[in-house]
Chains A and B, each alone.
Chain A
């Protein structure tokens, strides 16, 4: 962590750019050896400067392909920027791919351990939180049944329950977050509200402006990989008019 970083700052991006190489088809090793062909490049993000304070709720808006998901992936440390510097303070958790990291043949409980370890918990931590995770997921006696018997809603609930019990300080939400049945979305939004009240930092990508307006205090409008506007919630109105 940076020493000159203000302790009120959760995330800081300086000149962050991300370049992708476009492959129309996946390259093969043989092709690569035989001919060296020039690949097309594509800058998904260009020179992003951003400071997020602790407790901020930031909404990222913009058209498809404007770089929202790339920005989220960089913040989650799933991918690294081509240029620039990312500094974060506090445990980050992303509520994307909630159903990933489960094995269909294992029971719910076995899967809690597997999934919990993958999102950064230790075995000891999981032993302590196991009961809470099961209770929150509300999957009843299915906890001892193999995962392939679970309904979609149950899978999501379990994935969500594990992630929120990692005790995150920064929460990243994807636009597909609101999937799942009604009961699950109510429950998950209540939990997000709880996080907000606890003063945690939240970054969300969404096409649903009503949610952005309701939950966020800061908006970033991305356009073609650049920040077009950044500021108060009023930007949503400008975006909708554009």
Chain B
């Protein structure tokens, strides 16, 4: 049993390392690209939307949401087709298949953490840094991580059986971006729409991040509770379905 979990951890670390190494080999600036992407997005979106949306420190505000958004969107779009993509691997040996999507997510998570460290340096310069902010940010990022893993287990598992799931995920991601408080915050939203936001677990995650990083989120306790419950539900369904179906993956590939 102990040897088995040792092997699992070694494999997960090895696969995550592969994801990171493979991504940054042969790229001139390596890691820079992963920070550059949200910075460029921040500048472009900021320039346009600052005309319509009045939020203090709008550029920093955008950045605090674009980093976790980039994480979940990259993770989902890469993890969903990952098992189908690695079909030869599944036919080669019996190994814990969940390490395929999870390693992709962990690699993205490490990227995001490094970006956040740089962001904290910026906050230090502008005088918005607080140690409590860091602790709350870490807690919420772990929530985001586990939720993303649960959701990716679900989508990657469904993708093995139904090959249109990936298209569905791509479309949902575009809509989801606008339905999540990245460009705006909840205080700009009429209360009548709150029931819709309570269905999206990312609402609380992003609003808590706005609060912990820039002290400008607006949190609604009712939304938070429903968001958390839905996250747990998604994580549970993801793990449950994956555990039930993984034995038959090879038959579908």
- Using a CB–CB cutoff of 8 Å, the interface residues on chain A facing chain B are 20, 26-30, 32, 73, 76-80, 93-94, 96-101, 103, 105-106, 110, 113-114, 117-123, 146
B1 CB, nearest partner CB in chain A, Å? 14
Contact A80 B248 (CB under 8 A): yes
Tell me if A119 and B25 are in contact (CB < 8 A).
no
Provided the pairs A29-B158, A118-B89 are in contact, do residues A106 and B7 lie with their beta carbons within 8 angstroms? no
Size of the chain B interface, CB-CB below 8 angstroms: 32
9 nearest A-B residue pairs (beta carbon): A100-B88, A97-B92, A29-B162, A28-B164, A100-B92, A77-B94, A117-B11, A123-B10, A117-B14
B161 CB to closest chain A CB, in angstroms? 7
Please name all residues of chain B whose beta carbon is closer than 8 Å to the beta carbon of A96 when the two chains form the complex.
Answer: 91-92
Which residues of A are found within 8 Å of B7, using beta-carbon distances?
117, 120-122
Residues of A within 8 A of B131 (CB): none
Q: Which listed residue (A80, A97, A117) contacts B91, Cβ 8 A? A: A97
Kindly list chain A residues whose C-beta atoms are within 8 Å of the C-beta of B93.
Answer: 76, 78, 93-94, 101, 118-120
Q: Could you name 12 residue pairs across A and B whose Cβ atoms are closer than 8 Å?
A: A29-B158, A30-B164, A78-B250, A79-B248, A93-B93, A94-B93, A101-B88, A101-B92, A120-B7, A122-B6, A122-B7, A123-B10
Alpha-carbon distance between A49 and B94 when the two chains are bound, in angstroms: 23
**Can you name the residue of chain A whose Cβ is closest to the Cβ of B21?**
A106
Judge whether B251 and A27 touch: CB under 8 Å.
no
- Residue B247 lies at the interface, judged by CB distance under 8 Å to chain A: yes
- Bound Cα distance from A27 to B90, whole angstroms: 21
Partner of B94, one of A76, A106, A114, A121: A76
**Could you list 14 further interchain pairs (A-B, Cβ under 8 angstroms) beyond the known A20-B251, A93-B93, A106-B22?**
A26-B162, A29-B164, A29-B165, A73-B91, A77-B94, A78-B92, A78-B250, A97-B92, A101-B88, A105-B26, A110-B18, A118-B11, A120-B95, A123-B14
How far apart are A80's CB and chain B's nearest CB, in angstroms? 5
Please indicate the chain A residues that have their CB under 8 angstroms from the CB of B168 in the complex. Answer: 29
Tell me which residues across on chain A come within 8 A of B15, comparing CB atoms: 114, 117
Chain A residues positioned under 8 Å from B14 (CB to CB): 113-114, 117, 123
Q: Whole-angstrom distance between the alpha carbons of A27 and B158 in the complex?
A: 11
Report the bound CA distance from A101 to B86 in whole Å: 8
Cα A97 to Cα B87 in complex, Å, equals 10
- Residues facing A in B52-111 (CB within 8 A) are 88-95
CB proximity of A163 to chain B, nearest CB, Å: 8
Main secondary structure on A side of the interface with B: loop
Chain B residue contacts of A20, Cβ below 8 A: 251
**A159 to B6 CA separation, bound complex (whole angstroms):** 23
Chain B residues with CB below 8 A from A119, complex form: 92-93, 95
A28 and B95 form a contact (CB under 8 A)? no
Bound together, the chains give a CA A19 to CA B85 distance in angstroms of 24
Q: In the complex, how many angstroms separate the beta carbon of B5 from the nearest chain A beta carbon?
A: 11
Cβ B22 vs Cβ A28 within 8 A: no
The CA-CA distance from A79 to B250 in the complex, in Å, is 6
Cβ contact of A79, chosen from B3, B6, B163, B251, cutoff 8 A: B251
Nearest chain-B residue to A119 (Cβ)?
A: B93
With A100-B92, A123-B10 known as contacts, the answer to whether A105 contacts B164 (CB < 8 A) is no
Tell me whether A106 and B25 are in contact (CB under 8 A).
yes
Complex Cα–Cα for A27 and B93 (A): 26
Q: Which A residues touch B161, using CB under 8 A?
A: 27
Set of chain A residues within 8 Å of B11, measured between Cβ atoms: 117-118
| Most chain B beta-carbon contacts within 10 A, residue among A79, A103, A118 | A118
For chain B, residues 1 to 55, give those with C-beta under 8 angstroms from any C-beta of chain A. Answer: 3, 6-7, 10-11, 13-15, 18, 21-22, 25-26
